[in-house]
Chains A and B, each alone.
Chain A
Amino acid sequence: MSKIKHTLNPNKWVKLYADYLYSYTKGRVNNHEIAKDLVQETFFAGLKAMKNFQGKASERTWLISILKRKIIDHYRKINSAKGKAEVKMNFYSDGEREGEWIEERVPSNWNIDAEKSIENTELNEALQKCISKLPEKYEMVFRMKTIQQFDTEEICKELQITSSNLWVIIHRARTQLRKCMEDNWFND
């Protein structure tokens, strides 16, 4: 059986794939400039690696595989010592009270009235603000899981993290977001 041998044509990359690669990236990295840079870097890396292209995969698949590496690198960068901002603690992490709520983070009752209904554009804006206050790593994983609704397995594979790692991140992000929405929306 003869197989099609794919070829590369970098002159057409932007026209054919820039939008696709950009929207793929934007679903993972919710920042226009960073997403744009990652796409540009993917094209540059593609140019460098052209001689290694064997023609087995389509041009698009090949570029996506390069982009995936770029996204992992980005995740590692925001997870590195330099980018390692942590969310606020909600529970005592050691001592006699380990695992118990820290007093000022204990949930308080919300005022939910008609004006504060959950299908509300302003609520979305408040939520957007709270999400963007999360440290980058938490924001990225939270968005992929909750907003883009990717499978746990897929996220773990893409970012090369374990599922228990993912759930710790989701748990911390959600407790932080709950508090932020309590202060800025429900009890504002």
Chain B
Amino acid sequence: MKLTCDEATKICDKSQYKESSFLGKLKLVIHLFLCKKCGLYSKQNTIMTKCYENYSVCKKHQNSCLCEEEKEHMNQKIKEKI
């Protein structure tokens, strides 16, 4: 049942995506009860997840496409090869 800090924080990361197993979560809870360093990591991890979510929303709204000039250039190159 004993986890190293590396293993515990890995499960903690996986939990942020709701993809850790029941046994994993159980072992993590026990580890967090005993380890202050990982306890802090876990607390901050929740904050980091919120940051990533905000960033993700922001990123997804940015529409990325090629400009007309770049497309024209691409088209030229294709025509040369046809």
Contacts and interface: CB of A to CB of B under 8 A. Distances in A.
Interface stretch (A8-16, A58-66, A76-84, A132-140): A8-16
A47 B81 contact: yes
Interface residues of A, number: 51
A26 B21 CA distance: 32
A47 B7 contact: no
Contacts of A156: none
Contact of B47 (A15, A101, A109, A118): A118
With a 10 A CB-CB cut-off, give which of A47, A124, A145 has the most chain B CB atoms.
A124
A42 to B, nearest CB: 10
A146 B48 CA distance: 11
Given A147-B56, A147-B59, A99 B44 contact: no
Interface of B: 4-7, 9-10, 13-14, 16-17, 19, 37, 40-41, 44-45, 47-48, 50-52, 54-56, 58-60, 63-66, 70-71, 74-75, 77-79, 81-82
A171 B13 contact: yes
B74 A43 contact: yes
Q: Secondary structure of the A side of the interface?
A: helix
A11 B82 contact: yes
Contacts, number: 120
Contacts of B50: 118
A145 B17 contact: yes
A119 interface: yes
Main secondary structure, interface of B, reads helix
B9 A98 contact: no
A122 to B, nearest CB: 12
A39 interface: yes
A14 B75 contact: yes
B55 A47 contact: no
Nearest to B4: A99
A112 B41 CA distance: 15
Contacts of A106: 37
15 contacts: A13-B78, A19-B71, A23-B63, A99-B5, A108-B40, A118-B50, A127-B52, A147-B59, A148-B60, A152-B17, A152-B19, A167-B13, A167-B14, A174-B13, A175-B13
Contacts of A174: 13, 16, 45, 48
